[in-house]
Amino acid sequence: MDKHLLTLWKAISSGPIKQIEIADLLQISSKQTTRYIQKWSTDCWLTFTSGRGRGNISNLHWLKNVEAIFEDNLMKIIDEQPVEISSKYLLWDWSTDSKLRLLKKFSSKFGYVQSTKDKLIVPRKNPFLTIHPLEAADVHSANIVATIFNRLVSIDENGVVSPELSHSWDLQNNRIRIYLKKDIKFHDGSVLTADIVVNCLEKLQNHPFYQNLWKPVKKIVAVTSLVIDINFSCSCSYFLQMLGSINASIYKETENHLYGTGSFYVQENNEQKTVILAFKDYYGERALLDAVEFVQVPKDYDVVYRSSVVKKDDQTFAVDSDSGFGVVLMNTYRNTAIQQKEVRDYIHYIISKYRHEISQVDCRYSPNHQGCLIGQSKIYKIPKVKKPEFTKPLVLKIVNYTENTTLWLKDILQKEGIPIELKWVSFKDTIGKTSDNEQVDLFIHGEVFEMNQNFSFFSFLQNGHSSLAEIVNREVNIRDHLTEYSNTPFQDWTDLNLTIEKTLIENSILIPLYYSKRQIPFSADLMNINMKHFGYVDFSKLWVRPEIRE
């Protein structure tokens, strides 16, 4: 099958056509176009008569229904080949009817498969950007990191800290002593030691994105093979919570591999597919599934976690998953009009005026008239603001995952007299915080808190991956508040977080826009569904009650 041939079939009917028009449509050179036409003519897909002389136009005549034949071929591939083989063909430009028929067939290949192994095949719309704990800044990567690696401690949504790789710890003055569990194995069979933990934590401490968070740490030492001392230069009330974050996962790194201690390990990871297998020597409760496969699918594919036993669409149920919130952030350090508070206040006023419309942009969104801290932030109102003078357009960043919402924001700002210039930035560059990402005045940022929102909000202010951190660190009145966290008991952080949030909102640096919820459909016979880090399912607990013929 040929992607270019399908594109040509969909776009061009039999009749007069210039060869240059075919080249432009397929975005290939004139020579390549000639070779393709010759091949397709030889294979009896079409005839192409070249126009000779001035004013004579070439003529194309189709001999076969390309899409119908390709659809039949792909149906067979879906039946006979691994799912990652057929998935790449679905990314082609099919007609709506063909796409629906193919996706329906394709869906039957996903879900729970019970043969020699219990396997769950999960559709994936985007490849994982990374599986390294230090680099996982997007929620998809962070979720797979949470599945493959463990941390010294875990922290739940209420902020309660529990042992994970450690079994206990002692807090004394400006030191914490951590005791590791015995005989914990990495995925390569080697055993976890204090030296490996120290190496991981030192890399985290010195990483440019985490230096602010780890600033209170003075020294990390392996006392014995299973005991670690962490010394502080000053008080650090949040250190245990920091050890429970995804980026503090413990790993063993060699020249070519990264090994974790989690309930699953990575067998395969590429653009088409990621496969994780249950780790039989896992120190905790072994995963009930043997394997999970994440297979690339088209962006418009309807993701459903289903089993192969359940075929009917109505035999599913939806589980609510928190997808975080969206805010508009202002790059106040830019030497443009965005530094002026009256400009930011006017933008804030416009957003508050139109915010109720956000559900029309995306049905998953609900207007956020409060703030980032669900159940804690208070409703606020913005008074009418006089429009300032604008001599230059403000630069608004647009990223593919916020495209529709950003275009809506552009429209309402321009409607109220603010000149806007769009600057496209790739999602990868947004995550990596390149210089391109910083050459904008304002942008929409989506944030999903990991587990406990009090610590996650603090991390949002300080974590180097965060789009807000650089803005906050340049705001003196906010930066001074950040020094209070180390000396404030963690259970008292709510008031501190609310104070900083209020300051950000009142100064129109952070403008709440929407809350995001998604409903994830699950097959009715998938058991023990538990949402964990970043609102994603915990694969280590999933299972399907087997069919037993009596």
DSSP H or E segment with residue 120: strand 118-124
Instruction: Tell the burial category of 545 from Cβ atoms under 10 Å away from its Cβ (0-12, 13-18, 19+).
Output: exposed
pLDDT for 497 beyond 70: yes
Confidence (pLDDT) at 283: 94
Confidence (pLDDT) at 84: 76
Based on the fold, state whether residues 394 and 499 are members of the same structural domain: yes
Based on the fold, state whether residues 214 and 351 are members of the same structural domain: no
Tokens in use for 526? 């998938």
Q: Residue 182 domain-assigned?
A: yes
Based on the fold, state whether residues 466 and 354 are members of the same structural domain: yes
Spell out the long-range contacts of 26-31 with Cβ–Cβ below 8 A and sequence spacing 24 or more: 28/4
The mean pLDDT value of the chain amounts to 87
Tokens in use for 501? 């949030």
pLDDT tier, 122 (very low <50, low <70, confident <90, very high otherwise): confident
Tokens in use for 172? 């004394």
Confidence (pLDDT) at 116: 67
pLDDT tier, 418 (very low <50, low <70, confident <90, very high otherwise): very high
Q: Residue 52 domain-assigned?
A: yes
pLDDT tier, 219 (very low <50, low <70, confident <90, very high otherwise): very high
Main-chain dihedrals φ then ψ at residue 209, nearest 5 degrees: -80, -15
Q: What is the DSSP letter of 100?
A: H
Q: Residue 9 domain-assigned?
A: yes
Pairing type for strands 365-367 and 510-523 reads antiparallel
Q: Indicate which CATH number applies to the domain containing 212.
A: 3.90.76.10
Average pLDDT value for residue range 91-114: 79
Average pLDDT value for residue range 468-492: 87
Centre a 10 Å sphere on the Cβ of residue 397 and count the other Cβ atoms it contains. Answer: 24
Tell me the CB-side half-sphere exposure of residue 457, using CA atoms within 13 A.
26
Based on the fold, state whether residues 357 and 499 are members of the same structural domain: yes
Confidence (pLDDT) at 311: 47
Based on the fold, state whether residues 251 and 367 are members of the same structural domain: no
- Residue whose entry in the numeric block shows the structure tokens 């289903």: 306
- Residue whose entry in the numeric block shows the structure tokens 């495209």: 403
Domain coverage including residue 24: 3-64
Based on the fold, state whether residues 254 and 342 are members of the same structural domain: no
Tens of pLDDT, residue by residue over 22-44, are 999 999 999 999 999 999 999 99
Residue pair 218/232 in contact by the 8 Å Cβ criterion: yes
Average pLDDT value for residue range 71-83: 88
> Between these two residues, 327 and 447, which has the higher pLDDT value?
327
Based on the fold, state whether residues 244 and 345 are members of the same structural domain: no
**Separation between Cα atoms, residue 528 and residue 148, nearest integer Å:** 19
Average pLDDT value for residue range 221-239: 93
Tens of pLDDT, residue by residue over 314-370, are 455 555 555 689 999 999 989 999 999 999 999 999 999 999 999 999 888 999 999
Based on the fold, state whether residues 412 and 511 are members of the same structural domain: yes
Please choose, from the candidates 512, 509, 429, the residue with its C-alpha nearest in 3D space to the C-alpha of residue 472.
509
**Separation between Cα atoms, residue 86 and residue 79, nearest integer Å:** 9
Q: Residue 12 domain-assigned?
A: yes
Q: Residue 169 domain-assigned?
A: yes
Cα→Cα distances 425→126, 135, 141, 399, 476, Å:
17, 19, 20, 5, 28
Based on the fold, state whether residues 223 and 357 are members of the same structural domain: no
Q: For Cα atoms 514, 516, 522, give the angle at the middle one, nearest 5 degrees.
A: 170
Tokens in use for 34? 């000639």
How many domains does the chain divide into?
3
Based on the fold, state whether residues 252 and 373 are members of the same structural domain: no
> Helices (H) and strands (E) in the chain — how many of each?
18, 24
User: What are the E-state strand segments in 282-419?
Assistant: 291-296, 316-330, 365-367, 394-398
Q: Indicate which CATH number applies to the domain containing 47.
A: 1.10.10.10
Pairing type for strands 161-163 and 153-155 reads antiparallel
Spell out the long-range contacts of 63-69 with Cβ–Cβ below 8 A and sequence spacing 24 or more: 66/5, 66/6, 66/8, 66/9, 67/6, 67/9, 67/10, 67/94, 67/95, 67/98
- Residue whose entry in the numeric block shows the structure tokens 């009749």: 15
pLDDT for 395 beyond 50: yes
pLDDT tier, 57 (very low <50, low <70, confident <90, very high otherwise): confident
Tokens in use for 368? 């956020």
Q: Residue 287 domain-assigned?
A: no
Q: Residue 137 domain-assigned?
A: no
**Separation between Cα atoms, residue 192 and residue 203, nearest integer Å:** 17
Strands laid side by side in the 264-269 sheet = 111-114, 118-124, 291-296, 273-278, 264-269
pLDDT tier, 536 (very low <50, low <70, confident <90, very high otherwise): low
pLDDT tier, 218 (very low <50, low <70, confident <90, very high otherwise): very high
Residue pair 347/308 in contact by the 8 Å Cβ criterion: no
Confidence (pLDDT) at 432: 61
Q: Residue 427 domain-assigned?
A: yes
Confidence (pLDDT) at 309: 43
Based on the fold, state whether residues 160 and 55 are members of the same structural domain: no
pLDDT for 482 beyond 90: no
Range of weakest confidence among 33-42, 81-90, 219-228, 277-286 = 81-90
pLDDT for 145 beyond 90: yes
DSSP H or E segment with residue 200: helix 194-206
Please choose, from the candidates 183, 23, 158, 137, the residue with its C-alpha nearest in 3D space to the C-alpha of residue 432.
137
For the ranges 149-158, 194-203, 228-237, the one whose mean pLDDT is highest: 194-203
pLDDT for 254 beyond 60: yes
pLDDT tier, 170 (very low <50, low <70, confident <90, very high otherwise): very high
Q: Of 259, 274, 299, which residue sits at a domain end?
A: 259
Tokens in use for 200? 């991981």
Range of weakest confidence among 126-140, 482-496, 502-516, 535-549 = 535-549
**Separation between Cα atoms, residue 34 and residue 97, nearest integer Å:** 31
Confidence (pLDDT) at 111: 64
Based on the fold, state whether residues 164 and 32 are members of the same structural domain: no
Question: Side chain identity at 328, as an amino acid letter?
Answer: V
